[in-house]
Structure 1
Amino acid sequence: MVGLGPKHPPSRKGSMHDVPQNLLQQIKDFEERFTVDQATLKKIVAHFVKELEKGLTVEGGNIPMNVTWVLGFPDGNEQGTFLALDMGGTNLRVCEITLTDAKGAFDITQSKYKMPEELRTGTAEELWEYIADCLQQFIEFHHEDENLTKLPLGFTFSYPATQDYIDHGVLQRWTKGFDIDGVEGEDVVPPLEAILKKRGLPIKVAALINDTTGTLIASSYTDSDMKIGCIFGTGVNAAYMEDVGSVPKLAHMGLPADMPVAINCEYGAFDNERIVLPLTKYDEIIDRDSPRPGQQAFEKMTAGLYLGEIFRLALVDILDSHPGLIFKEQDTSKLRKPYLLDASFLANIEEDPYENLTESLELFERELNIRPTQPELEMVRRLAELIGTRAARLSACGVAAICTKKNIESCHVGADGSVFTKYPHFKARGAQALREILDWAPEEKDKVTIMAAEDGSGVGAALIAALTLKRVKAGNLAGIRNMDDMKTLL
């Protein structure tokens, strides 16, 4: 039996001696399928480094390694007032952020607006009108009767976009359930600016950013040891600072080789050829039945969107391959509904503190109309632990690959996203995987520490707007399109 070893975070004391042999065999099968040992982690990271490097070349690869045109970290002395617009999947958030004269300090005022469901499949004009409505409401409420000059806006647009300039971005494809005609393949900045101008709003887009890049910059503003920004949530991604000389696809621009530029990896697409990832048959089913088979291989094994579905497929597999082994003479029809369970279902099972797993029993009854026996509860508990542990260990591979590529021996990593902040033991399991991959001695403290990030899509967006204006003032105009407009913000 392949175990997880004593170094993994302790769980509540189970009573496996009460589990019958046929269920113990099932647990053993799951352990063999889902356990990712040290050798496999190292193999994944070696391939990951090659894929990161390939993405920086002209030919590219699975991982896009998008150039963001954020050229350098903040130094903590940035000042001024900036707007931040965060267009997420569910909410639209508008923030006003004042970077104060105290180093690394800021004040924030914010409002949240619900994205109407019909907007997701509406028209482009309706989308931009709605965003302008929210910005107008915010300005009118917080700056009533003030005569404002132009406010620089950092726009967090967390959808895959190609950026040749920091103040521009062409939407590659909609995600998060959006499907608005006439936006894919287009620059999203001009239509927003046109509607702001029509309404006479004193707002100019200074930077279009991804939330991962924002996380990197916001975290580094308050912590100079922060070198990587990560999202572990519905999706997975990371951003880090690269030297222009190490980005062959920028060679034609003649920029200084030592100039830093933030790279938005978009590495959910790592190993789409499935060379090193330890896929189970459940991962194969998820990919086959997804809207885009063959894409986002890494994301489908690690992101919050898929963890509950992996768990559900594993239980359905037992029902179909060993009839009568579990949930005997119970109605299991609800369990057969795809994506009925999300990552919080597994998190709740793992957090159940009771020896007899009372909370897990209630969860199964409430969500699935199934009443598992005590041995069945022990099995589902172990299955949840295995899936959660695999996700955390694989997630650490992306961080380890960036550290390996950049020869970073020690740093802080700013992380955001629901899986990182809410899934039990995720942080500790990821830390343990980093120890194994990077070969730290047992007595050494963690050299690469993943910690909760600052607000990347709010504070990060404002900071990137501030950094952009700072370099316009200094005459560094690389990756800026509307230079004259930018100068009006100074």
Structure 2
Amino acid sequence: MPTTTSNPNVVDEIIKSFQLPDDRLTVITQKILEAFKLGTEGNPNGLAMTPTFVTSVPNGTEKGTFLTLDFESAAFRVSQVKLDGKRNLASADKIVDLSAQDKTGEATAFFDLVADSVKGFLAENGIQGSTSNPLPLGVTFGFPVQKTGIKNAKLAAWTKGFSVQNAVGKDVSTLLQDALDRKRIPVKCVSVVNDTAAIFLAQSYLSGGCVLAAIFGVGTNGAFPEDIAKIKKLHNTPSLSTTGKMILNTEWGAFDNQRNVLPRTPYDNKLHRESLRPGFQSFEKMVSWMYLGEIARNIFVFLIDQSPPALFGGKSTPALNAQFGFDSYYLTLVEQASSLADIKAVLVEHLGFKSEDISDTDANIVRAVSIAVTTRSARLAACAVAAGLVY
């Protein structure tokens, strides 16, 4: 068995760099609140605080059948949703997985794929529309946009591993509608909302009310209602009422892109440099599921490369050497393991290690690192939720 030289100092220092005491969490929460306020005022130093132009929310009494399209990180979903007016819903769904080529190709090809999938869903479910009476379609689009109306959503940037070409700066509803029209599909895009705002609306229907919607998955974001009169960036929108409330999409995944507040480590910095959009989505890259495994992998590789080796006796595997080769799901498996033998089994099965190359010390280090990365994520997530509830 290769020898891992136990160097508690280097491991302890890494673990310590991921710890966030309560006073630091208080500061981070306060800074998020300040970013909310600046963004609502239209100050570029704040968060986007994107107006959704959603000024009313369901209460559970709504009835009807609706066509929806939901863009996710690795797929999109076409659905027909039926509401019974009693806080219940039923849906028929078609999920279309996206390849790496789909997510990085040309916009025309991407939206043609979406349109073809909508057409197939309508045919499979016997749903009919006509040129004179097109089917209304509501779209959930979980990427940063600049909104000027309920369906007008200009793509500001791709996130979550997407980089479809010739789409940034263009209106999403127009790109989609053009594709539907090219295919002569009798569907009309009538609304585009962020996925977090969509969750807010869905939960309002299911429970009769909602104060904050938050996503912690492949990405992270939050949405909540604000008095329209306080949204200063909308004061030059004469057609908009100054009374009532509007759901704001915070885009808190972009908090602290300036690197002034969040406690970034060298392992975070490496992830940022090698990501599709270095310097963007700083908070998201420390919190969301898409990135946590890569942060842990960066730590493991650093420890392997120490002299003398501090992990796995200096040995690695092709899986561990590859970017994003340590999936965030493995963190869960390691934390749930009831014994060191279980942790070793995870490393053997998913990373290709030989069991004789993993000592008990190695397994303990892997567990300690996994807990440190996920605990920091949870505590930072709590800061965003607290800020959203307080604001």
**Structure 1 length-normalised TM:** 0.72
Aligned partners of 1:229 and 1:238 also within 8 Å: yes
Q: Is 1:374 aligned with 2:357?
A: no
Among 63, 70, 80, the alignment partner of 2:64 is 80
Matches within 5 A, 1:38-437: 38-100=22-84, 102-143=85-126, 149-254=133-238, 255-328=240-313, 330-331=315-316, 334-354=319-339, 357-366=340-349, 367-369=351-353, 371-405=357-391
Cα pair distance change 1:131/1:295, threshold 3 Å = closer
For the residues of structure 1 that align with 2:32 and 2:172, how far apart are their CA atoms?
31
Aligned partners of 2:257 and 2:282 also within 8 Å: yes
Aligned partners of 1:68 and 1:261 also within 8 Å: yes
Residue aligned with 2:305, SS: helix
Residue aligned with 1:99, SS: strand
User: Shift of the alpha carbon at 1:375?
Assistant: 2.1
User: Shift of the alpha carbon at 1:395?
Assistant: 0.7
Cα pair distance change 1:290/1:130, threshold 3 Å = closer
Deviates more, 1:42-51 or 1:317-326: 317-326
Residue aligned with 1:207, SS: strand
Cα pair distance change 1:21/1:178, threshold 3 Å = closer
Aligned partners of 2:145 and 2:155 also within 8 Å: yes
For the residues of structure 2 that align with 1:222 and 1:153, how far apart are their CA atoms?
21
* One-letter amino acid matched to 1:175: T
For the residues of structure 1 that align with 2:128 and 2:235, how far apart are their CA atoms?
50
Aligned partners of 2:57 and 2:201 also within 8 Å: yes
Cα pair distance change 1:31/1:106, threshold 3 Å = same
Identity in percent: 30
User: Shift of the alpha carbon at 1:173?
Assistant: 2.5
Unmatched 5+ stretches in structure 1: 1-19, 406-490
Aligned partners of 1:334 and 1:369 also within 8 Å: no
For the residues of structure 1 that align with 2:313 and 2:90, how far apart are their CA atoms?
58
Aligned partners of 1:124 and 1:181 also within 8 Å: yes
User: Shift of the alpha carbon at 1:23?
Assistant: 4.4
RMSD: 2.4
For the residues of structure 1 that align with 2:273 and 2:9, how far apart are their CA atoms?
28
For the residues of structure 2 that align with 1:160 and 1:99, how far apart are their CA atoms?
29
Higher RCO (Cα < 8 Å, 6 or more apart) = 1
User: Shift of the alpha carbon at 1:283?
Assistant: 1.6
Aligned partners of 1:72 and 1:241 also within 8 Å: no
For the residues of structure 1 that align with 2:166 and 2:257, how far apart are their CA atoms?
28
Cα pair distance change 1:126/1:285, threshold 3 Å = closer
Aligned partners of 1:23 and 1:379 also within 8 Å: no
User: Shift of the alpha carbon at 1:144?
Assistant: 6.3
* One-letter amino acid matched to 1:265: T
* One-letter amino acid matched to 1:276: V
* One-letter amino acid matched to 1:404: V
For the residues of structure 1 that align with 2:114 and 2:360, how far apart are their CA atoms?
52
User: Shift of the alpha carbon at 1:155?
Assistant: 1.0
* One-letter amino acid matched to 1:374: D
* One-letter amino acid matched to 2:121: F
Aligned partners of 2:54 and 2:247 also within 8 Å: yes
User: Shift of the alpha carbon at 1:30?
Assistant: 3.0
For the residues of structure 1 that align with 2:338 and 2:168, how far apart are their CA atoms?
47
Describe the superposition over 1:213-265 as per-residue Cα deviations: whole angstroms up to 9, x where unpaired: 11111112112352111111121111111111221101222544442111111
User: Shift of the alpha carbon at 1:349?
Assistant: 0.3
For the residues of structure 2 that align with 1:235 and 1:208, how far apart are their CA atoms?
19
Residue aligned with 1:297, SS: coil
Cα pair distance change 1:170/1:259, threshold 3 Å = same
Describe the superposition over 1:297-326 as per-residue Cα deviations: whole angstroms up to 9, x where unpaired: 111211112211221222222233342333
For the residues of structure 2 that align with 1:331 and 1:317, how far apart are their CA atoms?
11
Residue aligned with 2:301, SS: helix
Aligned partners of 2:52 and 2:246 also within 8 Å: yes
* One-letter amino acid matched to 1:303: S
For the residues of structure 2 that align with 1:296 and 1:253, how far apart are their CA atoms?
29
For the residues of structure 2 that align with 1:333 and 1:121, how far apart are their CA atoms?
25
User: Shift of the alpha carbon at 1:70?
Assistant: 0.8
* One-letter amino acid matched to 1:99: L
For the residues of structure 1 that align with 2:101 and 2:362, how far apart are their CA atoms?
42
Cα pair distance change 1:399/1:135, threshold 3 Å = same
Cα pair distance change 1:62/1:54, threshold 3 Å = closer
For the residues of structure 2 that align with 1:56 and 1:239, how far apart are their CA atoms?
13
Describe the superposition over 1:135-169 as per-residue Cα deviations: whole angstroms up to 9, x where unpaired: 11111221268879432211122222211011121
For the residues of structure 2 that align with 1:318 and 1:380, how far apart are their CA atoms?
10
**How many pairs were matched up?**
383
User: Shift of the alpha carbon at 1:344?
Assistant: 0.8
**Structure 2 length-normalised TM:** 0.90
For the residues of structure 1 that align with 2:313 and 2:179, how far apart are their CA atoms?
61
Cα pair distance change 1:123/1:232, threshold 3 Å = same
* One-letter amino acid matched to 2:125: H
1:419 matched residue in structure 2 = none
